[in-house]
Amino acid sequence: MPPATSWAATLVRMTDPEPPRPAPAGPAHLPVLRDRVTGLLAGDLPPDARGVLVDATLGAGGHAAALLAATPPGVTLVGIDQDPDALALAGERLAPFGDRVVLVHARFDALAASVAPVLATAGPLLGVLYDLGVSSMQLDRGERGFSFRADAPLDMRMDTTRGATAADLVNGSDAGALVRILREYGEEPQARRIADALVRARPVTTTGELARIVRDALPAAVRHRSGRTADPATRTFQALRIAVNAELDTFRASLPQALELAPPAAHPGRPTGLRGGRVAVLAYHSLEDRIAKRAFADAARGCVCPPDLPVCACGREPLVRLLTRGAESPGPDEVDRNPRARSARLRAVEVLRGAPPTA
């Protein structure tokens, strides 16, 4: 996969002469904790606010549409996605908002470069949203190769225009590397057995083959363990998807950019009365939630002097304030309507001051 810096972002203003490709028909994606996310990112803005909201994971544009509807016309939304199909779908959905929308085909570790041209004319930055992971469309479209429920080429790339597929990974990695992927990204206790079975069965080219190999590799007692609700291949599919899309590294590289780009309320040149920039993260498994939790806790920490020091010598002040107490989860009604919301964890912060310059 090429380094993040070489990923050229493609910007499309919604009024540009060449609109995105027509969206393929497909199942809907329900935006998780939509009203809470909208309140956090679009809330507390004056009616004449001018600035930029970034949806770094545009998907079907559900959160983006809610953000646009909740903000004054002076607010521009930059929608980033690495999946060209998602951009096409969201482009259609957001067309009624006209030139308040800018679509960017990019991976979000290129966040700063992707939003710079828009901030230069429509800034300042008011907030950034990450709704991590895959969308329902990606999972439900069997041909994308994300799901063991359909038999399709083993792909799993969110960006179908570049990069190695899951088949490349399974067929090209040694057993040790596969074990690490399954353990680290899938927390799969049977990683060694599954990796050895995959190596023996190569080449593995379809999702159906992968699922069957994983199921056959597991001891019967594990396969039929009482209380097991998920398919035994679930962890393997999650692990490969995270590895193929470098999901954790990309998020780790992007989140500090969002915190750095979001200005504090008292930023020079920022209109008085405008609150600081906000960053919200919806995570769906503990690995990505941990990255947000640590980054936010670190930025929210003030004085780090030993407790027995009578006065502060470090001078450190919090860079952000936490807007959520711990992680917030959807209530039972939302989970009933949208089972995919079950594992969601929402965290958000508001930037209070700029980071001190690094030496």
Ligand X SMILES: C[S@@+](CC[C@H](N)C(=O)[O-])C[C@H]1O[C@@H](n2cnc3c(N)ncnc32)[C@H](O)[C@@H]1O
Site of interaction with ligand X (CB under 6 A): 29, 31, 57, 59-63, 80-83, 86, 107-108, 131, 133, 135, 158, 250
Backbone angles phi, psi at 78, to 5 degrees: -95, 120
In the bound state with ligand X, the residue whose beta carbon lies nearer, of 136 and 234, is 136
**Contact predicate 54/80, CB 8 Å:** yes
DSSP state of 317: -
Q: Annotate 82-110 with DSSP letters as a single string.
A: S-HHHHHHHHHHHGGGGGGEEEEES-GGG
Contacts of 34 (CB under 8 A, 6+ apart): 62, 63, 66
User: Smallest distance, Å, CB 247 to ligand X?
Assistant: 6
Instruction: Name the 3-class secondary structure at 263.
Output: coil
Q: Which residue is nearest to ligand X (CB)?
A: 59
* CB closer to ligand X out of 62 and 145: 62
| Choice between 217 and 248, CB closer to ligand X | 248
Minimum separation from the CB atom of position 242 to ligand X (A): 10
Shortest distance (Å) from residue 40 CB to ligand X: 14
Q: 136 vs 205, which CB is nearer to ligand X?
A: 136
Nearer to ligand X, 158 or 258 (CB): 158
Q: Are 20 and 103 in contact (CB under 8 A)?
A: yes
Summarize the chain as % helix, strand, coil (round to 5). Answer: 45, 15, 45
Q: Is 319 left (phi over 0), alpha (psi -120 to 50) or beta?
A: alpha
Contact 132, 284 (CB under 8 A): yes
Q: Please, what is the minimum distance in Å from the beta carbon of residue 81 to ligand X?
A: 5
> Least CB distance from residue 41 to ligand X, whole Å?
12
Cα 165 from Cα 143, distance rounded (Å): 13
- The residues with which 348 forms a beta bridge, in sequence order, are 280
Contact 119, 110 (CB under 8 A): no
Kindly tell me which of 255 and 274 has the beta carbon lying closer to ligand X: 255
Distance CA(355)–CA(276), nearest Å, equals 13
Burial of 251 from C-beta contacts in 10 A (0-12 / 13-18 / 19+): buried
CB of 348 to ligand X, least distance (A): 15
**Smallest gap, in angstroms, from Cβ of residue 178 to ligand X?**
22
* Residue with Cβ nearer ligand X (88 or 218): 88
Strand partners, 322: 349
Pick 81 or 350: Cβ nearer ligand X: 81
Least distance from ligand X to the Cβ atom of residue 48, Å: 27
